[in-house]
Structure 1
Amino acid sequence: MARLIKHATLVNEGKLYISDLRIENQVIAEIGPDLSAKPSEEVIDAQGMWLLPGMIDDQVHFREPGLTHKGSIASESAAAVAGGITSFMEMPNVSPSTTTRQALADKQAIAQRDSVANYAFYLGATPDNLDEIKAVDPQSVCGVKVFMGASTGDLLVEHPAALDAIFRECPTLIATHCEQGSVIQQNNARIEQQYGTPQIIHHPMIRDDEACYQSSSYAVALAKKYHTQLHVLHLTTAKELSLFSSAPLAEKHITAEACVHHLWFNEQDYPALGNLIKCNPAIKAESDRLALLKALHDGRIDIIATDHAPHTWQEKNVPYPQAPAGLPLVEHALLTLLEQVKRGAMTLEQVVEKTAHNVATRFAINKRGFLKEGYFADLVLIDPTRSTYVHHEQTRYLCKWSPFHNTTFSHQICATFVNGELVFDGDKVNTRHNAAQALRFNR
């Protein structure tokens, strides 16, 4: 359907300006003031609203295949578009793990059938799947995910020879989870000796800044040695920030990311929220949170993502050592960032840069992430005058809970468009049509 969005405040490439925007044949056909409606067009009056390129989330765990009691591509992509996320890149730690091209193809087929948002998938690295890594298609695979020192099953890669080979031979971007397992084990043993069975308040002590730094500095050293395209996921510590450059994004082959929950919560939130905010790497001190925000401003952190990782309420409500790590985030991630804007912690232009422009640029995504004529119409309309109240039962996640329960955000997502189709109208997600597409990468 052709659509004309009138009188919106567009946020794009560091500028805010009032304009109209026309959507035709899945793309942004025209941007300009006082565009005249065509007879067949739907006209949307967006006066007073912000029009942003949809968030591109480069790190989610949608749990399919094999873990669909926690979430599915259908359920979690629906929550994502309700949160203004129009594209996602999904991680390989499902069951079976996504460590072969066939497993990638199987996921693509599920997403083609069920996803409401655009999609791409990471191939998971193992100590012995180098041939699969070398054979991936850089134009259809967003990257290769390497769990460096903190994972379970076949996705843990610790041996130096295996890591060297992956960093040397990988034909596409490498995304790393960096925590050093030996440091975590030592910290855990010390906590057990000092306090007995560890509790949730000990989580940032067990997975501390040294565990993160030892692993991330190793990854950066390997990337410098082989000139690898490296993207370090979910930084959580001030200490790690010294590893990254404030140079323009176009000049970097090593980039860094922060996640919305590490920008929102700190270790003072553990007593109230407990295992609901248990995640790896851990939410840490307020000084670390503030350092991450500072690094967003100076360019050392290039991208903001979610690391959306749902678990059931029952799985979370067990003693700390047995509770799984991860929390559901996609439905309210953008709202948390808009709240940061209201607080003065970042600007609206920076939110768009870190959630859309830079993701599209870093991953070389074809014609997405900007409000430009000829680009796919992946858009989100925000009303800055209406609030959003969060309650567990009202979430769209399969797990039906949110770490933001009882929070009132100051903005409301009024519409989300994926390839020009209205997939969220501010109330309901439209899953009747198949608007979503596989992301393509210009590599």
Structure 2
Amino acid sequence: MSTTLIKNAIIINEGESFTGSVLIDGSLIKKVYKDSEELPKAEKEIDASGMYLIPGVIDDQVHFREPGLTHKGDISSESRAAVAGGITSYMEMPNTSPQTTSIEALEAKYQRASDVSMANYSFYMGATNDNLEEVLKVDPLKVCGVKVFMGSSTGNMLVDSNDTLNHIFKEIPMLITTHCEDETTIKENSEKYRSLYGNDMPFRYHAAIRNDEACYKSSSKAVELATKHNSRLHILHLSTKKELSLLNNTIPLKEKRITGEVCVHHLWFDESDYDVLGSRIKWNPAIKSVTDRDALREGLVSNLLDVVATDHAPHTLQEKQNSYFSAPSGGPLVQHSLPVMLELADQGILSKELVVEKMCHAPAILFRVSKRGYIREGYYADLALVNPNANQTITDENVLYKCKWTPFNNTKLKHAVIRTWVNGHLVFDNGVINEQKKGSRLLFDY
């Protein structure tokens, strides 16, 4: 077992910030030291004075495109970008090719990740209109959850049978995550705007097509089903002020049956950015008004919203450069989600401690991730070291994504991740990826 001592860092963890040190022994955190405590010797010592040391980020929603869509990204390339952004664990979505809707397809992903993933991993089982029997075979100790597309988005996995939805919410004992957008509303809006503008419709109307009505109608249906059957429901990528009324901030997270996630792009951009960025910020659900954006930010602060994630979903730039109705939705985010969130903290919109709570602690609590998400003795040494004065400029040329572009092109940020440890192994060190060891399958405490 090798030992590493990270000294004199500003540790941000469990609602406080303090100067301290962390001793890593093998894959685990052996000891956390306050500033005044005497430090031991270690085989490797890193002076982290002035740097933030936080638990590794747990991203509960990514699309790494493998199998079948690997021209856009793959588990190897996107997990490399993830660890460069301080993300040490991720949960990946089932709308691949083939879709992850059988135990065989699910386990094939786990096997692939064990060979190539730089970060720790879990994969969602996808629900369809006719695979409930297969979904019920999933072991909740080894799989993060079940994904239900109540809006089809991409991948043709729409679950639109009311009978099936009732059975899913009634019979599945583990966490159910949902993409919520009402298909009928979206189709009607699409026809309306296509008749007005044709195929070359300006991207600014994406928010009008996938509007708050489409989101709320579907999200409220999911909440109704979860309430009826006492299910554990996690609504992904909430994008509207209106949907916050469906959530509760009077219950501790570990006791909540209905929870909400917000994504970095919905907290950073608003619809005024479409005219400059166009398809680069075309996501489903859509980025909406500044009123919605600001309400989501406040929803984080007030604990109506529980988790911050990315919905990392790369496409090639050639695909994204199509006209509105042909350009796919989604974009890459994992390499810069943490620095962007810390930038919002620097702007006074939220606190650094809240960033760590929503990106590290809360996913661990919500998904019941075993021994991760905190800087605690006996926990896995999943850690990110951040330089708060790096003054980096993000460009298409310096990203690690396979698609080689970013919605943050030419954005200047003060913060940058400089080192990342996964299971005690230094996987990212000032721009260099160390592939000597791979990440591990996440396990869950039920």
TM over 0.5: yes
Q: After superposition, what is the alpha-carbon deviation per residue over 1:320-350, rounded to whole angstroms, capped at 9, x for unaligned?
A: 1000000000000001101001110110000
- 8 Å Cα contact 2:96-2:155 kept in structure 1: no
Q: Which residue of 1 aligns with 2:413?
A: 409
Following superposition, the deviation at residue 412 of structure 1 comes to 1.8
SS in 1 for 2:368: coil
SS in 1 for 2:432: coil
Q: Which residue of 1 aligns with 2:132?
A: 130
Matches within 5 A, 1:144-293: 144-152=146-154, 154-197=156-199, 198-247=201-250, 248-293=252-297
Following superposition, the deviation at residue 35 of structure 1 comes to 4.0
Following superposition, the deviation at residue 239 of structure 1 comes to 0.6
- 8 Å Cα contact 1:37-1:43 kept in structure 2: no
Q: Which residue of 2 aligns with 1:318?
A: 322
- 8 Å Cα contact 1:136-1:171 kept in structure 2: no
Q: Name the CA shift for 1:153/1:330 in 2 (closer, same or farther; >3 Å).
A: closer
- 8 Å Cα contact 1:20-1:35 kept in structure 2: no
**For 1:36 and 1:292, how far apart are their aligned partners in 2?**
42
Any gaps of 5 or more consecutive residues in structure 2? Answer: none
- Counterpart AA for 1:56: I
- 8 Å Cα contact 1:140-1:439 kept in structure 2: yes
SS in 2 for 1:413: strand
Matches within 5 A, 1:14-29: 14-29=15-30
Following superposition, the deviation at residue 193 of structure 1 comes to 3.1
**For 1:195 and 1:102, how far apart are their aligned partners in 2?**
45
- Counterpart AA for 2:210: R
**For 1:45 and 1:142, how far apart are their aligned partners in 2?**
36
Q: After superposition, what is the alpha-carbon deviation per residue over 1:151-199, rounded to whole angstroms, capped at 9, x for unaligned?
A: 4555110110010001111121000000000000111122223334433
Q: After superposition, what is the alpha-carbon deviation per residue over 1:198-225, rounded to whole angstroms, capped at 9, x for unaligned?
A: 3311100000000000000000000000
**For 1:433 and 1:371, how far apart are their aligned partners in 2?**
21
**For 1:141 and 1:171, how far apart are their aligned partners in 2?**
12
- 8 Å Cα contact 2:33-2:39 kept in structure 1: no
Q: Which residue of 2 aligns with 1:64?
A: 66
**For 1:136 and 1:401, how far apart are their aligned partners in 2?**
36
Q: After superposition, what is the alpha-carbon deviation per residue over 1:2-22, rounded to whole angstroms, capped at 9, x for unaligned?
A: 101111111111011111110
Q: Confirm whether residue 367 of structure 1 aligns to residue 371 of structure 2.
A: yes
Q: Which residue of 1 aligns with 2:427?
A: 423
Q: Name the CA shift for 1:35/1:79 in 2 (closer, same or farther; >3 Å).
A: farther
- Counterpart AA for 1:212: C
**For 2:249 and 2:70, how far apart are their aligned partners in 1?**
40
SS in 1 for 2:433: coil
**For 1:226 and 1:170, how far apart are their aligned partners in 2?**
10
- 8 Å Cα contact 1:199-1:321 kept in structure 2: no
**For 2:419 and 2:265, how far apart are their aligned partners in 1?**
24
**For 2:10 and 2:155, how far apart are their aligned partners in 1?**
48
**For 2:232 and 2:415, how far apart are their aligned partners in 1?**
36
**For 2:427 and 2:70, how far apart are their aligned partners in 1?**
23
Following superposition, the deviation at residue 298 of structure 1 comes to 0.7
Matches within 5 A, 1:70-81: 70-81=72-83
SS in 2 for 1:155: coil
Q: Alpha carbon RMSD of aligned pairs, Å?
A: 1.0
- Counterpart AA for 2:428: F
Match of 2:352 among 348, 360, 382: 348
**For 2:324 and 2:292, how far apart are their aligned partners in 1?**
23
**For 1:295 and 1:433, how far apart are their aligned partners in 2?**
38
**For 2:50 and 2:394, how far apart are their aligned partners in 1?**
23
Match of 2:96 among 94, 97, 100: 94
Match of 1:439 among 438, 442, 445: 442
- Counterpart AA for 2:225: L
Matches within 5 A, 1:13-52: 13-33=14-34, 34-38=37-41, 41-52=43-54
- Counterpart AA for 2:46: I
Following superposition, the deviation at residue 41 of structure 1 comes to 1.6
**For 1:414 and 1:367, how far apart are their aligned partners in 2?**
24
SS in 2 for 1:416: strand
**For 1:235 and 1:218, how far apart are their aligned partners in 2?**
14
- Counterpart AA for 1:376: Y
Q: After superposition, what is the alpha-carbon deviation per residue over 1:21-54, rounded to whole angstroms, capped at 9, x for unaligned?
A: 100020100011334333x520111111111001
Give the TM-score taking structure 2 as reference length. Answer: 0.97
- Counterpart AA for 2:52: W
Following superposition, the deviation at residue 237 of structure 1 comes to 0.3
Q: Which residue of 2 aligns with 1:387?
A: 391
Following superposition, the deviation at residue 428 of structure 1 comes to 1.0
- Counterpart AA for 2:213: E
- Counterpart AA for 1:143: G
**For 2:390 and 2:197, how far apart are their aligned partners in 1?**
47
Q: Which residue of 2 aligns with 1:107?
A: 109
- 8 Å Cα contact 1:177-1:233 kept in structure 2: yes
Identity rate of aligned residues, in percent?
Answer: 52
**For 2:155 and 2:80, how far apart are their aligned partners in 1?**
29
- Counterpart AA for 1:416: T
Q: After superposition, what is the alpha-carbon deviation per residue over 1:122-164, rounded to whole angstroms, capped at 9, x for unaligned?
A: 0000000001111100011100000003245551101100100
- Counterpart AA for 1:351: V
Any gaps of 5 or more consecutive residues in structure 1? Answer: none
Greater shift in the superposed pair: 406-415 or 206-215: 406-415
Match of 2:85 among 76, 83, 96: 83
- 8 Å Cα contact 1:50-1:384 kept in structure 2: yes
